[in-house]
Amino acid sequence: MQTNNTFHFYILIVFVFALFSCSNKDKTNKNHLVFRYNEHKNIGSLDPAFAKDNADIWAVNQLFNGLVQMDDSLHVQPSIAKYWQVSEDALIYSFTIRKDVFYHKHQLFGKDSTRHVTAHDFEYSFNRILDPKVASSGRWIFNKVKSFKAENDSTFNIKLKQPFPAFLGLLTMKYCSVVPKEVVSVFGTDFRSNPIGTGPFKFKRWKENVKLVLRKNKCYFETNTKGEKLPYLEAVAITFLPDKQSEFMQFIQGNLDFLNSLDASYQDEILTTKGELRDAYKSSVDLIRSPYLNTEYLAFYMDTNLNEIQSKQLRQAVNYGFDRQKMMTYLRNGIGIPANGGFIPKGLPGHQPNIGFNYQPEKAKQLIVDYKISTGNSNPTLTITTTSNYLNFCEYIQRELTKIGLIVNVDVIPASTLKEGKANGKLNFFRASWIADYPDAQNYLSLFYSKNFAPNGPNYTHFSNTQFDKWYQSSFTETDLKSREVLYSQMDSLMLQETPIVPLYYDEVIRFTRKEISGLGSNPINMLELKRVKKKIKI
């Protein structure tokens, strides 16, 4: 399998070289203008209506724009909307559309091969997300929206059902990208592989499971601070090697410019236990490390009939029973922050670093003893369901909990089976993670709102608490930032007291780049922004 993947990779290199070499009159090699990365999870669609997974979101982000965008500090900035106004009652958002944004060229636009974007395009694009026939996974974004309308070519209004302070953050999601009606109506579902957007790069070729090539959009509307047009790169080439070890080797050999993962197969090779680059790589590789809005955790299904899960004593014992700091040092080479706080990750208002559980093995032992005495169950047993990627974490927790008197089994299943099982209440105790859909703590707390029970919402634990629900509902109408932060902290504390979850760690974005790459940066939502990336000629 590895031989075939390597063969495909070299075929891509030859293809990209041929594609971007100059004519017979100009033999200059432009390979240094091609940014190359691998997507081991593959890409399912280039249609923003289905931009749910990170792999799809990254590719869609190069091809499409929305009204607004998020900068690296999680501040909402203009994109196709030049500016916006919000009514005093915080219900009406009025966006003024730029007049210099054009779609990528396509014959369906007629003799001019393109046209500029208008407010009517956003009305069409948003209606498309809501269309049941399209079945977009982003329909939920508009749950708080009463109506939206293009008043003319330049003005687009959105009216909310109630104030929602995080709404602008929602609009930065790639679901809200603008798409052209004349192209979508012709391609239908095949728009997934024939995308036409407004982004810094345009679609060139996609051989599924092998390669995806994007070319520079020379008519892109954004510029740098000096007024120079973006992007700087000529192209983006994405491969789909499924094996992370092969991906790592291609990066080390200089065949990839960027690596966005820390896999157990190579983490000790490239990083020290302190999370620093080893000396052998310091001359050729740069390490970018920053907080990431992702909480990794174990979840209990609270509607189960299993006595061990129903016991708050045992749930607390699990939380007290293992050393999170030790886990991060030895299993993640120090990458990530031990989750001794609540579910809200570090970096978001409402996060409290010390409201959670720390390592107290004796207290955990006593809780287990108390459970055995009160129930007569001398051999309490739990089974953690996980995927192979997180087996080492679950086995570590298994060993630590066994030491304090709790029998723990680990069941490894495919990712698709885990996803289906947790959505439909088929798993009693399972590993999960939550990456922010939008940068507001409310997004995390939605996992514990009783009206969000899975499969119709993200409450996979089926946690239910009347006081929590009241505070959650209040957070939608509270416009004062400090007051909202207090509400978030109260909800997080209350939920953790009932222990429907076991927080493991708050993740960090870790990016490895070749020394030739500059301008990539990082951000807490781990968005891949390539429009400001530069690549020097390798000497």
CA angle 23, 29, 32 (to 5 degrees): 140
Mean pLDDT of the chain: 91
Q: What is the pLDDT of residue 21?
A: 41
Q: What is the pLDDT of residue 9?
A: 43
Residue 476 pLDDT exceeds 90: no
**475-488: b (≥16 Cβ within 10 Å) or e:** bbebeeeeebbbbb
Tell me the per-residue pLDDT of 407-461, one tens digit each, with 9 for 90 and over. Answer: 999 999 999 999 999 999 999 999 999 988 788 899 999 999 999 999 988 999 9
Q: What is the 3-state secondary structure (H, E, C) of 354-419?
A: CCCCCCCHHHHHHHHHHHHHHHCCCCCEEEEEECHHHHHHHHHHHHHHHHCCCEEEEEECCHHHHH
Share of the chain above pLDDT 90, in %: 78
Q: What is the pLDDT of residue 500?
A: 98
Q: Which residues sit opposite 411 in a β-bridge?
A: 385
Q: Which residue did the predictor score with more confidence, 143 or 500?
A: 500
Can you read off the two tokens belonging to residue 300? 């209990």
Number of helices (H), then strands (E), belonging to the chain: the values are 16, 19
The DSSP bridge pattern shows strands 76-78 and 68-70 to be antiparallel
* Structural contact between residues 179 and 128, judged by C-beta atoms closer than 8 angstroms: yes
- 322: Cβ–Cβ under 8 A, 6 or more apart, which residues? 359, 396, 397, 400, 401
Domains in the chain (CATH in brackets) are 2-251+516-535 (3.40.190.10), 292-508 (3.10.105.10)
Tell me the per-residue pLDDT of 303-331, one tens digit each, with 9 for 90 and over. Answer: 999 999 999 999 999 999 999 999 999 99
* Structural contact between residues 431 and 384, judged by C-beta atoms closer than 8 angstroms: yes
Can you read off the two tokens belonging to residue 243? 């094996």
Q: At what angle do helices 324-331 and 391-403 cross, to 10 degrees?
A: 140
- The pTM (predicted TM-score) of the whole model is 0.79
Q: Which residues sit opposite 150 in a β-bridge?
A: 156
Tell me the per-residue pLDDT of 38-72, one tens digit each, with 9 for 90 and over. Answer: 998 899 999 999 998 889 999 999 999 999 999 98
Task: Tell me which range, 78-82, 271-275, 471-475, is most confidently predicted by mean pLDDT.
Answer: 78-82
* Structural contact between residues 48 and 56, judged by C-beta atoms closer than 8 angstroms: no
Give 539's pLDDT tier (boundaries 50, 70, 90).
Answer: low
Range in 16-20, 89-93, 340-344, 369-373 the model is least confident about: 16-20
Residue 23 pLDDT exceeds 60: no
Q: Which amino acid is at 229?
A: K
Q: Which residues sit opposite 86 in a β-bridge?
A: 93
